[in-house]
């Protein structure tokens, strides 16, 4: 894993994550963000 974000450009994704699952649903597959998935839920206080 390497973080590519800087103070000037903080929105860069980290590199080295091939797969990321949220609640068992892939949100990153083969290093790319999967479109139109939103497996997480909002939280209220």
Q: How many residues does the chain have?
A: 45
The reply to whether 45 falls in a domain is no
Structural domain count of the chain: 1
Q: Is residue 23 part of a domain?
A: yes
Looking at per-residue confidence, does 24 or 13 come out higher?
24
Percent of the chain with pLDDT over 90: 33
In this prediction, residue 32 has a pLDDT band, given cuts at 50, 70 and 90, of confident
Structural domain span for residue 27: 1-35
C-alpha–C-alpha distance, residues 40 and 18, integer Å: 19
Residues 6 or more apart whose CB falls under 8 angstroms from that of 33 comprise 13, 27
Whether residue 38 contacts residue 23, with contact meaning beta carbons closer than 8 Å, is answered with no
Angle at the Cα of 7 from the Cα atoms of 28 and 9, rounded to 5 degrees: 50
The reported pLDDT for the residue numbered 6 is 92
Q: Which residue has the tokens 């998935």?
A: 37
């Amino acid at each position: 894993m390497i973080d590519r974000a800087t103070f000037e450009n903080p929105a860069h994704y980290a590199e080295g994550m091939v797969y990321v699952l949220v609640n068992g649903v892939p949100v990153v597959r083969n290093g790319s963000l999967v479109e139109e998935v939103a497996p997480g839920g909002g939280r209220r206080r």
